[in-house]
Amino acid sequence: MSNIRIFVSHRIDIESELIDNPVYVPVRCGAAFDQQNPMNIPGDDTGDNISERRMSFCEFTVQYWAWKNYDADYYGLCHYRRYLSFSPVHFKTDEYTMVRVPVLTPGCKKRYGLLDGVGMERLISQYDIVTSEYAPVARIPAFSRKQHAVRDLWMEQAGSFFEASSIDLLFELIDRMAPEYSQSAREYLDGSLHRGFNCFVLKKELFDRLCRFQFPIMFEVEKRLDTTGYTQTMQRTPAFLGEMMYGIFLYHVTKNETWRVKELQLVFFADTERIRGKLDLARRCLWSILDRCLRAIVDPVMPKGSVRRERLKKLFYTFTPAKQRGIANIK
């Protein structure tokens, strides 16, 4: 059986539910800043690492750590709130082609096939690439204009997630540092199918190629950016561009090369904090309903990454201790 490892990027300030499955390797993202490690799981701050870049690279610090310090036949990446579903059942999805679930419960772990290590290994070993489904851009709501291409989707966030010129910088650096991807970069961003969220499992050769494509360019982006006056969200510009490069890479290798590809549904769990009894679970399910109502009101007037939203988050975090936030975190 192949040695398959899926690295789960966990926040250091949230004690999340863990998946009891040896295929998953939970890793604290930005462990260099973690003083306690209450979850007692490995951090991304050992060996060759970029843990201190957590605020600008996000889960890419975990990907880099896995690349440099772990030996496997297949490497995967997912997020403490986003997992690929290994269930044979096809679930209803939202406009991003994601399955949205309020709380990560023990039942959910079973429902979405996250506990079946043997079945996961059997499925993954039949393919070279396991990734989430594409999201048709036209289905994704926009605040200012109708979206036709992946570039439109990203440009909708310009000024909130990153400066509009960042995409031009990305093209410039790809042309100079990885010209073999230049045409694919333009075709992907001009295309109508979005592949995001950095959740995948790749054969070792492909994972190495992905990392060699992404990280040199992300490091160069970091050098070139003047982040003076950036919001906390805009500090993540290298990570957003890395996510674009993930889509570009998969587009490139699936269009120009012959690889065995399997698409799975991506599941988003709004609340993944460790469950402490039935009363705690009931309280958080209620919070999930209130949170959904709040977002329906807030999102149109305070888009994700906007200055107003960042100020609201800061105020919210100031007066609400982390352990009492439930899932009402506005992110």
Together in a domain, 153 and 263: yes
In a domain, 159, yes or no: yes
Together in a domain, 40 and 187: yes
What is the tally of structural domains in the chain? 2
Give mean pLDDT, residues 115-133. 98
Domain containing residue 294? 281-324
Together in a domain, 136 and 223: yes
What pLDDT is recorded for position 70?
97
Q: What's the pLDDT tens digit per position in 177-215?
A: 999 999 999 999 999 999 999 999 999 999 999 999 999
Together in a domain, 18 and 109: yes
In a domain, 190, yes or no: yes
User: What is the rounded CA–CA span in Å between residue 311 and residue 305?
Assistant: 10
Q: Minimal CA–CA distance to 221: which of 59, 53, 52?
A: 53
pTM: 0.88
What pLDDT is recorded for position 326?
35
Give mean pLDDT, residues 61-88. 98
Question: 310 with 233: CB under 8 angstroms?
Answer: yes
Bridging pattern class, strands 129-132 and 261-264? parallel
In a domain, 202, yes or no: yes
In a domain, 276, yes or no: no
Residue 226, number of CB atoms within 10 A of its CB:
7
Burial class (CB in 10 A: 0-12, 13-18, 19+), 153: buried
In a domain, 300, yes or no: yes
Together in a domain, 114 and 204: yes
Together in a domain, 211 and 293: no
In a domain, 293, yes or no: yes
DSSP 116-185: -HHHHHHHHTT-SEEEEPPEEGGGS--SSS---SHHHHHHTTBTTTB-THHHHHHHHHHHHH-GGGHHHH
Q: Report the interhelical angle of 237-256 vs 165-177 (nearest 10°).
A: 50
User: What is the rounded CA–CA span in Å between residue 264 and residue 200?
Assistant: 9
DSSP 21-52: -TTEEEEETTGGG-S--TT---BS-SSS--GG
Q: What's the pLDDT tens digit per position in 10-23?
A: 999 999 999 999 99
Whose tokens are 């997630």? That residue is: 161
In a domain, 329, yes or no: no
Together in a domain, 178 and 307: no
- The pLDDT of residue 316 is above 70: no
Residue 281, number of CB atoms within 10 A of its CB:
15
Question: 77 with 58: CB under 8 angstroms?
Answer: no
Together in a domain, 221 and 311: no
- The pLDDT of residue 108 is above 50: yes
Longest dimension (CA), the chain: 56
Together in a domain, 260 and 289: no
Together in a domain, 188 and 63: yes
Together in a domain, 246 and 303: no
Comparing 204 with 294, the larger pLDDT belongs to 204
Output the six-digit token pair for 293.
């109502």
Together in a domain, 265 and 286: no
In a domain, 275, yes or no: no
User: What is the rounded CA–CA span in Å between residue 104 and residue 89?
Assistant: 18
